[in-house]
Chains A and B, each alone.
Chain A
Amino acid sequence: MSNPAKSTMNTIQAVNLALDEALRLDLGVIVLGEDVADEQAGGIVGCTKGLSAKYGARVRSTPISEQAIIGAAIGAAIVGMRPVAEIMLMNFTTVAMDMIVNHAAKLRFMSGGQTHVPLTIRTMTGAGFGTGGQHADYLEAWFAHTAGMKVVAPSCPADAYGLLLSCIFDEDPCLFIENMPTYWNPGPAPEPGARIPLGKAHIVRPGNDVTLISYSRMVGECIRVAEKLAGENIHAEVIDLRTISPFDAECILTSVARTRRAVIVHEAVKPFGVGAEIAAQIHDALFGQLAARVERVGANFSAVPFSKVLETAFVPGPAQIEAAVRRTLGQSP
């Protein structure tokens, strides 16, 4: 990734490449979802373009029936296939919650380990397109709160590629969250076949003064804030969780033990969010060693609003992140 001569690609291309690779490697990999086949344009943003032409019936468009999509994927998974089910938007996962939460997540435990569900659910979300309250939510905490699932959210094209491959070949149900507004942002192309392990965080920027913990689109915002603060000789370490559940507590705690300050940043609303769990675990492990209380930055506790001015204010941005960092340093914002 550090080779400047290497080509770039965006997340749509990275996802497409990972699916192509998985379909090529394993006949058990199938792709199901609304509009995913080429006759339907290979997905609304083109993530699955060209795959049905190449792999035929293993890549198939479905009716707009989220329960049926996930149910079919679960059934195929428990008899050894590796389905990748696309739920177009994260808000639509709510239509399939019974299948995901009561079945995919629990069948391994409830069957005493006789069956398991190597299923990947791809979904996209994120505010910024004026889609309002039912098309842009980050609902990762709902799934992270469910035992038996893995929740993964890449922040760049190469991570999307490597993490998606790992999800597809993992033995547990994985929810794979793609950020829609940054789909077209280019990033370094991944090494072909380079899988990124689940459950391991990535220190994207080292630093000793404060630890910023984030995932998905907010990693980019944290990096921008860290770059700005470096000009003031404040060195923030930025950790990209990559996997939200189970998250890499060791990486977080090692960093925060050193910096003694932590800010957790996510696009999801703040109350009862992933940040609350991470903050609690930091307090459990490091209470007494912290130089400041753990800060959380998240979206406004409301539906995602439509009007641009409200939508922009709803989502956390660099200003809120910077203010939170300054609070941990005892500086007034």
Chain B
Amino acid sequence: MSDPNPAGATLVDIYRRMTLIKQNDERFRALIKAGKIVAPYYSPRGQEAIPAAISVLLTNDDYICTIYRNVHDLLAKGVPMRELWAEYAGKVTGTCKGKGGPMHITHPASGVMVTTGIVGSSLPIANGLALAAQLRGESRVAVAYFGDGASNIGAFHESLNLAAVWKLPVIFVCQNNGYGEHTRYDIATSAARVSDRAASYQMPGVTVDGNDPCAVYAAARVAIERARAGGGPTLLEAMTFRFHGHVFGDADVYMRPGEKEAAMKKDPVPAFRARLIAEGHAGESDLAAIESAIHGQIDEAVEFALQSAVPDLHELTQDVLSAAGEGA
């Protein structure tokens, strides 16, 4: 992990995760459009490189908190496709028995502790995960994913300050896709860069090209190693773009003409694929095999989700309070 430039196998692993995200996203959109799955959907297409590059630096013991736009973060961190699809489909076999849904995926086995639908709320809780690790003398780190819009909410500022004061092992990862809901970054945000705000909290702030997995990897590696070594938090901003608007079905009417088309020309997935081949890290057939294997796994996951049972109605009264408290 101390290699500043990821080895070939790591690069291929990053590509595998990016492909996993891209293909799953394509399938989610197709199934929602076809009416096979009814769920609010916040496509992460275009943002694949960020969690893919960060997650190869994390283990299952490391925690993440993410947000409503989450499929990329979850798949990159290792949430199994079957359970993820089943949760999106509202089935009892889902990660959360169908009770959390797309905006509230939890999967502790892969370190996914909280997925929140509230802008900015991944940060304060990530601090608590990091605090537990710090108090227990563990080497775990916590990653809080959020968007550029979240940098304008109070929870962001409270969290950065507290993490800096307590030197918590946390990495705040802003996936700056240029828009908070329908409002363009510069209309809503006083700072030229989100990472500029790190200076106010006396922590390192870095902005990288979120389309470049190697740039994300290099910055994340420094941040994660610093956190593990007790050096405290980092604010890492990765510049990116969401190809399918705020929520699936978004007509993008608030975007400037040509903006999305220009961003899509910089699609990180095919670009990274070409780079792996050009630099000799993988052959065309190696990558095609990865893509094909994932395709098959998604077929299987979708089938599993669609065939699974819906939750029993008794679930309405389960998990509200602890078993001792239920019915009290």
Q: Which residues on A are within 8 Å of B, measured CB to CB?
A: 30, 57-58, 60, 62-63, 65-68, 70-81, 83, 98-99, 102-103, 107-116, 147-148, 150, 170-172, 198-199, 246
Contact = CB atoms under 8 A, between A and B. Distances in A.
Contact of A112 (B100, B123, B154): B100
A73 B128 contact: yes
Nearest to A66: B158
Chain B interface size band reads 35 or more
Contacts of A60: 166
Contacts of A30: 131, 135
Contact of A102 (B106, B121, B328): B121
B319 A68 contact: no
Given A116-B322, A172-B321, A111 B132 contact: no
A326 B98 CA distance: 52
- Shortest 7 CB-CB contacts between residues of A and residues of B: A75-B128, A71-B124, A112-B97, A111-B106, A112-B96, A68-B158, A171-B322
Nearest to B322: A171
A22 to B, nearest CB: 15
27 contacts: A30-B131, A57-B135, A63-B161, A63-B162, A65-B158, A67-B158, A68-B161, A71-B123, A72-B131, A73-B128, A74-B124, A75-B130, A76-B132, A78-B125, A79-B113, A98-B118, A102-B117, A108-B320, A110-B96, A112-B94, A112-B97, A112-B106, A113-B97, A114-B107, A150-B321, A170-B322, A172-B322
A229 to B, nearest CB: 32
Contact of B320 (A63, A68, A109): A109
B91 to A, nearest CB: 11
Nearest to A148: B320
A190 to B, nearest CB: 22
B135 A81 contact: yes
B96 A114 contact: yes
Contacts, number: 155
Contacts of B226: none
Contacts of B155: 67-68, 71, 98
Interface in B289-328: 318-322, 324-325, 328
A115 B325 contact: no
A196 B100 CA distance: 33
B158 A148 contact: no
Contact of B121 (A58, A71, A72, A199): A71
A114 B128 CA distance: 17
Nearest to B170: A75
Contacts of B185: none
B235 interface: no
Given A78-B129, A108-B319, A148-B321, A115 B135 contact: no
B63 interface: yes
A312 B310 CA distance: 56
Contacts of A71: 121, 123-125, 127-128, 155, 158-159
B170 to A, nearest CB: 9
A80 B132 contact: yes
A48 B61 CA distance: 33
A75 B131 CA distance: 8
B119 to A, nearest CB: 10
Nearest to B117: A102
B132 A75 contact: yes
B299 to A, nearest CB: 25
